[in-house]
Structure 1
Amino acid sequence: MPRFKKKTNKSLLKTIPMDEVALDLGSPDSLFQSLIQHSCSIERFYEYYWEQRHLYIPCLKSESGDNCQDKQFSGTRSSYFSKLFNHEILKEIVVSKKLEYGKDICACRFDDEKKCRVNAEEDGPVTADKVHSLFHVDEMTLQFHQPQRFHDELWKIQEKLESFFGSQVGSNVYMTPDGSQGLAPHHDNVEVFILQLEGEKEWKLYSPVVNLPRNSSSDFDDTTVKGLTLLDTIIMKPGDVLYFPRGTVHQAKSIKGTGHSTHLTISTYETQCWGDYILDFIPYLTDVAADKVVSLRRGLPRKYYNQTSTDGFKQNLKEALISLAESLTESTDVEMSDSIVCNFFANRLPPFGSVQEQLGKNPTLSSMVRLSYPDHVLISRGKGQYHAEDTLEEEDNDLESDEEGDKEDSGKMEVYVYYSTRNRRITHMMEEEEKPKGLRFAAECWGGLTTLKKSESDFVEVSDLNLPMHVGLDMLVALWAEGLLECKNDN
């Protein structure tokens, strides 16, 4: 890698020309299918691989054998991957952005003799000369955090993948010198997709210490690794993709004599398991069930706190939990208390290239309308008391409700429209939690809103939404004013 030079006028952080793209970015499903390429269908992937076993997806070869190519795309996969991130892109970001060590970039190497990781003791602003020295002189792996904040093509890809998974999708870039290893063996608490961008890297995958862990591990020592089963050894080349489930112990080393290696790690499904959902949902379910199930309203034993370790108390608790589970019927509205999905919409990437303005003229009763970004709109309903912990931003333009008697109406059913169109790209996955942005409407708007959501990109006549006369048009105008609704008028 040559020394950093003065930035040229042509930015490498913009989207890649379509004739060079080797993934199908037409929809979230088509993108994921093109990512796993010829290996299997999406259905087969979830049935056989997801959370169960790794999948290595070597690049398809062209007839000449010179490049990786999928014939349905103009660009070759290896060439396209190399434009997602490389040293020239790193140069431009370092020179043009204000980066900090630890927050935006880290450097480390694995000491093969001591079998441990050595971290660069750096802090403060990132400089081009120091990054050059860390890579070339100290021979450390550079770890760049969340490059989708700066590179438009990665923004486009990860925004689509977030719509596919329904979960935040983060990424890190690892640039490793020739014949070197950056990280010690470890496991992650996320589902991992590796895209090899430059050079070659040998990956060793081992059996999990914990299946589907909720937390990432610390570095494993050599004794622990030797006690694990080696599942596979894979040589990753440009254009290759590798998936492995959370909990898979892994380590990777660039191949000596093949030059430096660059790979992109795409990760998802952090805190997205059934346990996380139940932990979030149980308070609401208990509140509803206790009003209906008499056994849940019976008093605790006298001085129960002296009995919590006894078999009798545990049996009574088990019976109460069974009653709670049995109270979950088809009539129970599981949408009312779901902070997981609200946090997703509050912190996911905004739509790629979204326009924060009204689309078309303001809606009338004779208009045709559709949601501008349907994947970025969540329609939920509940009672005000379940949103008392500030789940909506307390700004005048973020709440649509009756002006009178909010306290008296706190027990009434309401409809909430959460949206991510105004989220900040620059804070994505940077541990800066945002509050959900949303609008609040009367319960009678539920049917019309769900019709809009189901229509996706198709226009719907306002008359077909069957909205209540007294609030329906106001609701549409509020959505349109926020840039969430596109409107077509006959006039």
Structure 2
Amino acid sequence: MPKKAKPAGTGQQEGPVPCKQPKVEAAGGPFTLNFDSPGGFFESLISPIKTETFFKEFWEQKPLLIQREDPALATYYQTLFRLSDLKGLCGRGLYYGRDVNVCRCVHGKKKVLNKDGKVHFLQLRKDFDQKRATIQFHQPQRFKAGDLLYFPRGTIHQADTPPGLAHSTHLTISTYQSSSWGDFLLDSISGLVFDAAEEDVEFRAGIPRQLLLQVETTADARRRLSGFLRTLADRLEGSHKLLSSDMKKDFAMNRLPPFHVGDGAALSTPGGQLPRLDSIVRLRHKDHIVLTVMPDQGGSDETQGKMVYIYHSLQNRRDTHMMGNEETEAHGLRFPLSHVDALKQIWNSSAISVKDLKLATDEEKESLALSLWTECLLQVV
């Protein structure tokens, strides 16, 4: 199969859509970034917009601008501000009282240790280290990641530094690349043709002699191709099966491993009880697993049959993600097509008994569970 080329942007986009600037209510207190989980971080990043609202009203539809200039939100990005940042800021002209307060608690009362005039970082650090003082930095969003702007796929944009500033930082997060309907169609069409050619002799008939030597395709050839495409569309509407080619595999290969606190090796080391025939099991990290039916990647063209493939991102390396040295091999398992119903049972169940899997023998049932457990994709509950 030819390797898909990534389509280049044409620059021809729909007219601009006004950004929505949400009203931020201060009564609920300041928002903070949440690093406890990917979902929690995303929710805090777009707050006060709700996740459901974002995907319903803005995702792939129109831009969203969230401005955090309200003083009530001054601590929103406090997790991104460090003492070391003050060194550079002091050189830009900070003043005691207006920008910084140095204070400490003495006998239950606040004592201000401010000097006069400009703040010098060495003095600030001395008070911090020797006097154990607290440094209160007012409105850090004046100098740090103040706004969040989302715009849909294909929006042409340019980052610009506001007048009067030597520099500014723009953090661009790209997502959902190579996930358009066009990409999905390119990925799916080969599977449709594979099935049709197996069952319909017309798809296996030879093309007209010398067709490939002609500069322009003949009218008869275009009619035949149009008829084949209509046949494929009819087959697709009447079937629940759709062979995937590369898209699911690429998704698993290029995805970050699951969010995990602690030793990352735990994601690639089986844990818990060994599954047996009478065990109740369920999938682990389901959001990081894809299941697909594909032509056998190891078979010859003449004997190529279908196999069930499971790909996952558990063993992907976080430290090299999108660093120019992407994974060259996908992590996962391959099973005979006879295992597809049993795998769907596991996939669609919150928990299931190994002995209830739709396989011919108990040995096959236990072997399937053990294979998934060894790959850290299954746990006994």
**Pairs within 5 Å for 1:91-130:** none
8 Å contact 1:199–1:261 — kept in the other structure?
A: no
CA shift for structure 1 position 411: 4.6
Query: In 2 relative to 1, CA 444–319 (structure 1 residues): closer, same or farther, beyond 3 Å?
Result: closer
Matched, 1:265 2:146: no
Query: In 2 relative to 1, CA 476–313 (structure 1 residues): closer, same or farther, beyond 3 Å?
Result: closer
2:182 matched residue in structure 1: 275
8 Å contact 2:274–2:380 — kept in the other structure?
A: yes
**Pairs within 5 Å for 1:18-57:** 22-23=33-34, 25=36, 28=39, 31-39=41-49, 42=52, 44-57=53-66
2:369 matched residue in structure 1: 476
Once the two structures are superposed, residues 205-232 of structure 1 have per-residue CA deviations (whole angstroms, 9 ceiling, x without a partner) of xxxxxxxxxxxxxxxxxxxxxxxxxxxx
Q: Which amino acid aligns with 1:39?
A: I
8 Å contact 1:51–1:245 — kept in the other structure?
A: yes
| TM-score relative to the length of structure 2 | 0.64
Q: Which amino acid aligns with 1:476?
A: A
**Pairs within 5 Å for 1:30-429:** 31-39=41-49, 42=52, 44-59=53-68, 61=70, 65-68=71-74, 76-80=75-79, 82=80, 199=142, 238-257=145-164, 260-293=167-200, 295-304=202-211, 305-306=213-214, 308-331=216-239, 333-334=241-242, 336-353=243-260, 354=264, 355=266, 356-384=268-296, 387-388=297-298, 411-429=304-322
CA distance in structure 2 between the partners assigned to 1:21 and 1:471 by the alignment: 50
| TM-score relative to the length of structure 1 | 0.51
CA distance in structure 2 between the partners assigned to 1:56 and 1:281 by the alignment: 36
1:461 matched residue in structure 2: 353
8 Å contact 2:38–2:259 — kept in the other structure?
A: no
8 Å contact 1:199–1:258 — kept in the other structure?
A: no
CA distance in structure 1 between the partners assigned to 2:83 and 2:346 by the alignment: 45
CA distance in structure 1 between the partners assigned to 2:358 and 2:210 by the alignment: 56
8 Å contact 2:159–2:170 — kept in the other structure?
A: no
Secondary structure class of the residue paired with 1:328: helix
2:14 matched residue in structure 1: none
Secondary structure class of the residue paired with 1:266: coil
CA distance in structure 1 between the partners assigned to 2:343 and 2:287 by the alignment: 14
Computed over aligned residues only, the root mean square deviation of the Cα atoms, in angstroms, reads 3.7
Q: Which amino acid aligns with 1:51?
A: E
Identity between Structure 1 and Structure 2 (%):
35
Query: In 2 relative to 1, CA 313–88 (structure 1 residues): closer, same or farther, beyond 3 Å?
Result: farther
Query: In 2 relative to 1, CA 367–25 (structure 1 residues): closer, same or farther, beyond 3 Å?
Result: same
More strand by share: 1
Once the two structures are superposed, residues 300-357 of structure 1 have per-residue CA deviations (whole angstroms, 9 ceiling, x without a partner) of 33432326345554344333322332332443621x3331110111121112224121
CA shift for structure 1 position 473: 0.8
CA distance in structure 1 between the partners assigned to 2:317 and 2:234 by the alignment: 42
Alignment gaps of 5+ in structure 1: 1-19, 69-75, 90-131, 137-196, 201-236, 389-405
Query: In 2 relative to 1, CA 31–481 (structure 1 residues): closer, same or farther, beyond 3 Å?
Result: same
CA distance in structure 1 between the partners assigned to 2:306 and 2:220 by the alignment: 40
Alignment gaps of 5+ in structure 2: 1-30, 92-139
Query: In 2 relative to 1, CA 78–326 (structure 1 residues): closer, same or farther, beyond 3 Å?
Result: same
Secondary structure class of the residue paired with 2:191: helix
Q: Which amino acid aligns with 2:63?
A: H
8 Å contact 2:34–2:44 — kept in the other structure?
A: yes
CA shift for structure 1 position 426: 2.3
**Pairs within 5 Å for 1:442-453:** 442-453=336-347
CA distance in structure 1 between the partners assigned to 2:204 and 2:309 by the alignment: 31
8 Å contact 2:190–2:245 — kept in the other structure?
A: no
